[in-house]
Structure 1
């Protein structure tokens, strides 16, 4: 009876405490819901320098929205405002000059900047800073600054060929085959040199094209290794020739 009497006496206080606890729980879950909605509608604009998919010597400026919300009224500031050795100056790039009105999640823009062949040593000495300001769907202002370095892709190379390139090559080959079947003709391939020499020449041209895509310092390293390999092969051939001559003289005597 004592407990019941105590509850009856303090029922008002107990109800008040329960209401406070309930309000606290509701407030906490409201806060979590707000955080979740905010995370699902927050844009995240990223800026980077990347190599072209098929030509690693071509550097692209990449701007993409990796967040979950749309970004509006993007504005860009570059420091320095201009780099003379770029093939496409900053002031001629539309979105850097005029901004972007709406940038939805997952969207990516790639803009060619420069072919680093013969320019790499100069470019890697130039610090590049790009600041982007933008608003989200509730007009909150965001600002991010990216410090970019042209040397960060040094030594980069592709293994194999990109899927789009493979599809284009396969489509071209299929078109040629269909045209040959439709017309009943096929262009003959006439070699003016031995097959082995033709294969060697094609392989040499391919290697030369691959090497030309690298910066000059990487090209020099590759050529040094090739020279070393050739010298090593020449030495082995001379040693083998001398050994054969020695064995021939020994057998003759």
Structure 2
């Protein structure tokens, strides 16, 4: 009876304490719900340098939203006069100069930046610094700020095994088309050579090299052509020098 009497006497105090505890629990629940909602709607912009899947010497500038919410009004701060390849400035990269209006969760933008062939040592001396600000869908007035220091030497020594999956898919598709053509026609079309076999093999090799070169960006194609022109010129000089030496020996004899 003593406990019951004590409860009856102090019922108001007990109810007050229980109310305070309940309010505290409700407040914690509301706070955790708000944190969860915020986490599910908070974007996270990441900027990185990545090698191209098929051509690892081509460096891609990657802008990616790794968060769970959409990023809006993305603006970049960097030295737009910086020229990674010595020719084109960053101001020619549209989204770096004008920004990005919207980038959804897990979406990314990749832009070819530079080929490191013959330029890696120089590029490693000047890391690329990019700052980014953006808003989210929950609080449009608050701007998130991030800063990135991109080192061109991070992927030095990077190598891949095999070819790009996209390249293998394209190659397999060509083989399937070829097989279907053979099935529909019922026979393989005969190949009739109108030139010497050695010349035919040389032409096929040249065509194959041309196809491989066409897969590169325009800047890389120009570099390859310049290197090829230098090799051809060197061979021509060697042949001319050899012919002159032979003529000199003939005259001497």
TM-score when normalising by structure 1: 0.71
Residues 181-196 of structure 1 mapped to structure 2, 5 A cutoff: 181-183=183-185, 184-186=187-189, 188=191, 192=197
Which 5+ residue runs of structure 1 have no aligned equivalent?
210-253
CA distance in 2, matches of 1:81, 1:15: 69
Deviation at 1:177, TM superposition (A): 2.9
Q: Does structure 1 retain, via aligned residues, the 8 Å contact 2:72–2:103? A: yes
Q: Secondary structure at the match of 1:146?
A: strand
**Match in the other structure for 2:100:** 100
Residues 52-63 of structure 1 mapped to structure 2, 5 A cutoff: 52-63=52-63
Q: Secondary structure at the match of 2:125?
A: coil
Q: Secondary structure at the match of 1:134?
A: strand
CA distance in 2, matches of 1:67, 1:3: 56
Render the CA deviation track for 1:110-155: whole Å, top value 9, x for unaligned: 1001111111111111121011100000213101001000111101
**Match in the other structure for 1:247:** none
Match of 1:143 among 142, 145, 169: 145
CA distance in 2, matches of 1:131, 1:53: 26
**Match in the other structure for 1:64:** 64
Count residues in correspondence: 199
Q: Secondary structure at the match of 2:25?
A: helix
Give the RMSD, CA atoms, in angstroms.
2.6
CA distance in 1, matches of 2:192, 2:104: 51
**Match in the other structure for 2:40:** 40
CA distance in 2, matches of 1:3, 1:98: 75
Which 5+ residue runs of structure 2 have no aligned equivalent?
214-253
Q: Secondary structure at the match of 2:175?
A: helix
Residues 1-253 of structure 1 mapped to structure 2, 5 A cutoff: 1-79=1-79, 81-83=81-83, 85-86=85-86, 88-138=88-138, 139=140, 140-183=142-185, 184-186=187-189, 188=191, 192=197
RCO greater where, 1 or 2, for CA within 8 Å and sep 6 or more?
1
Q: Does structure 2 retain, via aligned residues, the 8 Å contact 1:131–1:144? A: yes
CA distance in 1, matches of 2:192, 2:72: 57
